[in-house]
Chains A and B, each alone.
Chain A
Amino acid sequence: MKRQFTVASLASCLALGLATSAHAQETLDVVTDPSFVPFEMMDQETGQMVGFDMDIVAEVAERAGFEYNLRTMDFNGIIPAVQTGNVDIAIAGITITDERAEIVDFSDPYYDSGLRLLVNADDDSIQSIEDLEGKSVGTKIGSTSYDYLQENLGDDADITPYPGSSDMYMALLGGSVDAVFYDAPNVGYFSQTQGEGRAKVVGPLYEGQQYGIVLVKGSDWVEPVNEALASMKEDGTYDEIHSKWFGSASGE
Chain B
Amino acid sequence: MDVTFQFDWQAAFASIPHLLTGIPYTLLISFAGLAIGFLIGILFGLLRISPSRWLRVPAVAYIEVFRGTPVLVQVLFIFYGLPQLLGGPINALVAGIAAIAVNSGAYISEIVRGGVQSIERGQREAGLSLGLSRRQTFRYIIWPQALRRMIPSLGNQGIISIKDTSLFSVIGVGELVRQGQVYIATTFNALEVYLMVAMLYLVITLSLSAALRLLERKGLVGQ
Contact = CB atoms under 8 A, between A and B. Distances in A.
- Please say whether chains A and B are actual partners in one complex: yes
B1 to A, nearest CB: 3
A125 interface: no
Chain A interface bracket (under 10, 10 to 19, 20 to 34, 35 or more): 20 to 34
Contact of B90 (A34, A77, A86): A86
A131 B181 CA distance: 32
B17 interface: yes
Contact of A72 (B17, B84, B89, B172): B172
A153 interface: no
Nearest to A70: B174
A170 B190 contact: yes
A165 B88 contact: no
B25 to A, nearest CB: 11
Interface of A: 3, 31, 34-35, 37, 41-44, 47, 71-74, 77, 80-81, 84-87, 120, 164-166, 169-170, 173-175, 194
Contacts of A31: 172
Contact of B185 (A86, A87, A166): A166
22 contacts: A3-B88, A3-B89, A42-B185, A44-B14, A44-B186, A47-B18, A71-B172, A71-B174, A73-B171, A74-B170, A74-B172, A77-B80, A77-B170, A77-B172, A81-B80, A85-B89, A86-B89, A169-B188, A174-B1, A174-B3, A175-B1, A175-B3
Interface string B33-46: 00000000000000
B178 A72 contact: yes
Which of the listed residues B84, B90, B186 has the most CB atoms from chain A within 10 Å of its own CB?
B186
A20 B62 CA distance: 48
A191 to B, nearest CB: 14
Which of the listed residues A3, A37, A41, A166 has the most CB atoms from chain B within 10 Å of its own CB?
A166
A77 B171 contact: yes
A86 B14 contact: no
A73 B17 CA distance: 20
Contacts of A84: 79-80, 83-84, 89-90
Interface in B69-95: 79-80, 83-84, 88-92
Nearest to A72: B182
B182 A194 contact: no
B3 A34 contact: no
A166 B83 CA distance: 30
A86 B79 contact: yes
Contacts of A43: 186
Contact of A34 (B14, B80, B185, B188): B185
Given A85-B89, A86-B79, 18 more contacts: A3-B89, A31-B172, A35-B182, A42-B182, A42-B186, A72-B172, A77-B80, A77-B170, A77-B172, A84-B79, A84-B80, A85-B88, A87-B172, A164-B185, A165-B185, A170-B190, A174-B1, A175-B3
